[in-house]
Structures are given as C-alpha cells and as structure tokens.
Structure 1
Amino acid sequence: MGKFVIKKTDAGCHFVLKADNGEVIATSQVYQSKESCKKGIESVKHNAPTAEIVEDEA
C-alpha cells in the first residue's frame, strides 16, 4: 500500500513515498509550509494513477 511521510528540514518540509518494505520510491521538492506539502501529496495521489510512462531520449 505504501505511505507518504512528511519530513521537516531547515528549508521547509518535503515528503517521501515509501513502499511497504520501507524503501523510498519517491521524494518531493521542498515546500515552505506543511500545508503546501500536504497539497503536493494530494496532487500526486490524484494525478499518478493515470500518469503516462515515457523515456527521456536525451
């Protein structure tokens, strides 16, 4: 199922998405507030189920 973990830093806060085994599978940008961080989590939850997978050709 995984879980989102909010972490505080000197610059603000960010979230990591962890798999059931505890492995970090995604890390967000740093947000200025916890509320903005939570909005970022909601955005990932909303947009990721239909996100396209593409390979960067560069």
Structure 2
Amino acid sequence: MAHKFIISKDKSGEYRVYFKYNAETIFWTEGYKSKASAQNAIDSIRNNGPQAEIVDES
C-alpha cells in the first residue's frame, strides 16, 4: 500500500505522526507526549477525514 501513517519519536522525545504517500510526506501532526495520543490522532483522522469540509481559498 502506498499510503501509510508512521509514528516516530522526535529529538525532544515527543511522538509525531507522519502521513506518507510512497516516500513523500503529505502532512504531519503536532508532537504528543505519549504514543497512545499519537495513535488517537491517527484514529481521529481516519474517522473524521472522509467527512471533512473542503475549503478552496484560491
């Protein structure tokens, strides 16, 4: 699968979630103190993303 979520720990010890398509990072989250919080962010994106409004500000 070309799309994937990656949880990694940054230099400050916080967990971040990266969403990648192939090798390209599409977006990343704020830092979280716990891995469980990072997983909750993934779950929220999966649950709420399909219904998200699209705003064209061009």
TM-score, normalised to structure 2, is 0.84
Tell me, which stretches of 5 or more residues in structure 1 are unaligned?
none
| Percent identity between the two aligned chains | 36
User: Structure 2: which amino acid aligns with 1:32?
Assistant: K
Alignment of 1:15-30 (within 5 A): 15-19=17-21, 21-30=22-31
Q: Distance in 2 between matches of 1:14 and 1:55?
A: 27
Instruction: Give the TM-score normalised by structure 1.
Output: 0.84
Q: Any idea what SS the aligned residue of 1:6 has? A: strand
- Moved beyond 4 Å, runs of 4+: none
| Aligned pairs, number | 56
What is the CA RMSD across the aligned residues, in angstroms? 1.6
